[in-house]
Amino acid sequence: MSRVAVLLFASVGAVCAQDARQVMNEVQNRSKSNSQRYEGWLKVIDNKSKISEKRWTYDRLGSAGESKVVLRFTAPAEVKGVALLIVNHPERASDQWMWTPSLQRDRRIAFQDRSTRFFGTDFSFEDLEERDVNQYDYKMLGEEAVGGAPCWKIESRAKKTKSSQYSHVHLWVDKARYVFLRIESFKGDTLIRRIHYSDYQKIQNIWTPLSLEVEDVARKSKTVLKTEKLEYNVAMKEEMFTLQALRRE
């Protein structure tokens, strides 16, 4: 999802477990779809255990590094209509614009602001990008189970053309389904953000996590996202993914 949004070997039974890039290619290939739509329910829990709830809709057209995404809050009333347009690129960071109805204006999200939280959630703006495997270099770190499921543990580092707030990321890939179970993002030796994926269901032949938890380690806060009414390969029009459309809703 996007990083609300997120990411993806040779034939099964003939896997070279040491080739991290092949594993990541297979993850991406198995999750590929022409479009995606869902309704999201978010529970944000701060470091004092105070809970706030939000809802958004998510629409994506295209896939991997050549997709466009619109995220739009639908509740509560004070954030209703706030929207984010993300235009992903295969060779560089995404372009992003946020529309705020109460101000009747949109603003481009500057690169230096990509590490900030997206509208009170624990997703950063960068986390909401949809990444292509070719934007990163990979290294196999070994094998480690998550919740009893055997996983490959892989390190990814953004190539020079793909700027990132993170110096490197650790990915746990379920060996059986080629899906992410955990992602940990670092700046140097410091763990910045941790994402857990769960409640996987096969939807239109794609293993899909219907629940994920994003933890901001420094803030000691987390956001739980539950997805509902999720569909792939929905008919969508390009004109839905423009600044003009963002303002009209």
Asked whether residue 2 carries a pLDDT value surpassing 50, the answer given is: no
Query: Could you tell me the pTM of the whole model?
Result: 0.89
| pLDDT of 6 over the 50 cut | no
Is the model more confident about 15 or about 145?
145
How much is the mean pLDDT over the chain?
Answer: 91
Separation of alpha carbons 30 and 90, rounded Å: 18
Give the total residue count for the chain: 249
* pLDDT score of 147 more than 70: yes
Q: Which of 23-32, 101-110, 170-179, 184-193 has the lowest mean pLDDT?
A: 101-110
- 130 — pLDDT class (breaks 50, 70, 90): confident
Transcribe 99-149 into DSSP letters.
Answer: EETTTTEEEE--GGGTTSBSTTSS-BTGGGSPP-GGGEEEEEEEE--BTTB
pLDDT for the residue 93: 86
- Asked if pLDDT for residue 40 goes beyond 80, the answer is yes
pLDDT value of residue 58: 98
pLDDT single digits (tens) 78-128:
999 999 999 999 888 899 999 999 888 999 999 889 899 998 999 999 999
- The arithmetic mean of pLDDT across residues 190-202, rounded, is 98
Cβ density class 103-136: b for 16+ within 10 Å, e for less: eeeeeebeeeebbebbbbbbbbbbbbbbbbbbbb
Residue 237 confidence (pLDDT) above 50: yes
pLDDT in tens, 43-53: 999 999 999 99
- SS3 assignment, position 247: helix
Say whether the peptide bond before residue 76 is cis (omega within 30 degrees of 0).
yes
Q: All domains of the chain, ordered by start, with CATH?
A: 20-248 (2.50.20.10)
For residue 174, is pLDDT > 70?
A: yes
Q: Is 172 helix (H, G, I), strand (E, B) or coil?
A: strand
Q: What is the predicted pLDDT for the residue at 22?
A: 96
CA dihedral 70, 76, 80, 85 (to 10 degrees): -20
Q: What pLDDT does residue 249 have?
A: 64
pLDDT at 216 over 50: yes
Q: Which amino acid would we find at residue 169? A: V
